[in-house]
């Protein structure tokens, strides 16, 4: 595909699908074009078409992913449909006779068994690259903190604390995100991002998870088809890793009064680093130099041509995936299916821990054993 235009299709053009469309438009000088979309929801189709017309990109519109696959129009597909649909769509893409590379939005799927099915099917298609949309690692302050940690500046990482204090879940098409059965639960749906970051910072895999959480403030007065939403809006989660490191997540989704949405703290045996989003500030220092030695810097990435909804991370995610595609098998996607699977397993373990009131091991969720 080197030199030729890489043709993209977007399956699901709701909020995130259109965000991908705009990001890909900002990558047009890299030789990419969106040529097709698939979405059964007419208002989503129309909003995507309006955007494409403003970019003078002609789009072929399909109501389902199967017709888009059969059209043979695309080289790469972005799957940005509701979480519970990822499994069926991914299986159909992977099993299709024409190879399509795929960027699938997080979470990979909503259950471990569905994730495993996708991982196993993809193993049989070495001609297809699959990247999972765990894009927070590309946010400039997070990427800078990863660089500081991987450079050994903090020593051996012992503790990672991630606080996300933000606004409630937004309204989605047909309100799919109001129920655990569709989203996988809050700790899968949104917190897979943070579990992925914990793994990166500690450089190890999770062993067991303990969580406490509830739906205390949001969505309590909403009713859909006679049902009240069951998604939790706050939680504390503790994760133990196989190298002895510990992670902690502090999630609150009724915290609009926060300066930052994410505050990340990583402490090693030599020093401590912190990242703040959206302030885009990184701080780090050593035990030896103490408080007076703490350095503060503003994190920026000049490659970003479009900040969008996620501080440029979607742009960098596409740039990264495109370079893997252009490398024609010489380069693996930087966020692979294993990353997708483990981040879901940590979320599932956390959801179950709240239900059971005890530690839940990753092994037991990987084996899908209930007790």
Ligand X SMILES: NC(=O)c1ccc[n+]([C@@H]2O[C@H](COP(=O)([O-])OP(=O)(O)OC[C@H]3O[C@@H](n4cnc5c(N)ncnc54)[C@H](O)[C@@H]3O)[C@@H](O)[C@H]2O)c1
- Min CB(262)–ligand X separation in Å: 11
CA dist 44 → 25, 38, 102 (Å): 18, 10, 21
Strand partners, 296: 283
- Min CB(289)–ligand X separation in Å: 35
- Which one, 314 or 353, has the nearer CB to ligand X? 314
- Min CB(265)–ligand X separation in Å: 21
CB 128 within 8 A of CB 328: no
CB 135 within 8 A of CB 220: no
User: Rounded CA gap, 23 and 42, in Å?
Assistant: 22
- Min CB(164)–ligand X separation in Å: 11
Closest CA to 262 of 354, 363, 176, 194: 194
**With the C-alpha atoms ordered 28, 32, 33, 37, is the resulting torsion angle positive or negative?**
negative
- Which one, 89 or 154, has the nearer CB to ligand X? 89
- Which one, 169 or 241, has the nearer CB to ligand X? 169
Shortest Cβ contact with ligand X: which residue? Answer: 14
User: Rounded CA gap, 188 and 108, in Å?
Assistant: 10
- Min CB(186)–ligand X separation in Å: 11
- Which one, 12 or 271, has the nearer CB to ligand X? 12
**With the C-alpha atoms ordered 146, 338, 7, 42, is the resulting torsion angle positive or negative?**
negative
- Min CB(364)–ligand X separation in Å: 25
- Min CB(83)–ligand X separation in Å: 5
Closest CA to 80 of 317, 256, 253: 317
- Which one, 9 or 271, has the nearer CB to ligand X? 9
CB 173 within 8 A of CB 44: yes
User: Helix, strand, or coil here: 321?
Assistant: helix
Structure tokens that stand for 263 in this block: 């505050």
- Which one, 106 or 208, has the nearer CB to ligand X? 106
- Which one, 90 or 239, has the nearer CB to ligand X? 90
- Which one, 17 or 347, has the nearer CB to ligand X? 17
Binding site for ligand X (CB under 6 A): 11-17, 38-41, 44, 64-65, 80-83, 85, 105-106, 133, 135, 172-173, 189, 310
Q: What is the dihedral of CA 138, 141, 147, 148, to 10 degrees?
A: -160
Dihedrals phi, psi of 157, to nearest 5 degrees: -70, 130
- Min CB(79)–ligand X separation in Å: 8
Report the alpha-carbon angle 322-328-334, nearest 5.
50
């Amino acid at each position: 595909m080197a030199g030729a235009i890489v043709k993209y299709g977007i399956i699901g053009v709701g909020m995130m699908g259109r965000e991908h469309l705009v990001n890909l438009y900002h990558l047009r000088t890299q030789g990419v074009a969106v040529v097709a979309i698939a979405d059964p929801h007419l208002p989503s189709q129309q909003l995507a078409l309006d955007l494409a017309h403003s970019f003078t990109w002609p789009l072929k519109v399909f109501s389902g992913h199967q017709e888009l696959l059969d059209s043979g129009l695309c080289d790469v597909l972005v799957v940005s449909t509701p979480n519970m649909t990822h499994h069926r769509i991914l299986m159909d893409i992977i099993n299709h006779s024409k190879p399509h590379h795929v960027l699938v939005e997080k979470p990979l799927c909503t259950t471990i068994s569905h994730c495993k099915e996708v991982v196993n099917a993809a193993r049989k298609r070495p001609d297809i690259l699959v990247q999972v949309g765990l894009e927070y690692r590309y946010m400039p302050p997070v990427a800078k903190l990863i660089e500081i940690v991987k450079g050994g500046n903090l020593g051996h990482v012992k503790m990672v604390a991630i606080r996300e204090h933000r606004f409630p879940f937004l309204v989605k098409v047909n309100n799919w995100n109001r129920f655990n059965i569709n989203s996988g639960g809050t700790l899968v749906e949104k917190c897979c991002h943070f579990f992925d970051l914990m793994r990166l910072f500690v450089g190890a895999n999770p062993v067991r998870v303990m969580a406490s959480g509830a739906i205390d403030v949001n969505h309590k007065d909403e009713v859909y088809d006679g049902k009240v939403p069951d998604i939790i809006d706050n939680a504390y989660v503790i994760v133990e890793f196989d190298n002895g490191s510990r992670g902690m997540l502090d999630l609150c989704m009724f915290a609009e009064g926060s300066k930052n949405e994410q505050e990340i703290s990583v402490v090693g045996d030599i020093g401590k680093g912190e990242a703040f989003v959206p302030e885009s500030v990184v701080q780090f220092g050593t035990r030896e130099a103490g408080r007076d030695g703490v350095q503060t810097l503003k994190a920026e990435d000049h490659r970003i041509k479009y900040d969008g909804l996620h501080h440029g991370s979607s742009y960098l995610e596409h740039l990264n995936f495109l370079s893997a595609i252009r490398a024609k098998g010489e380069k693996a996607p930087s966020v692979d299916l294993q990353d997708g699977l483990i981040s879901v397993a940590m979320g599932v373990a956390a959801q179950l821990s709240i239900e059971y009131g005890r530690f839940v091991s990753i092994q037991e969720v990987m084996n899908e054993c209930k007790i």
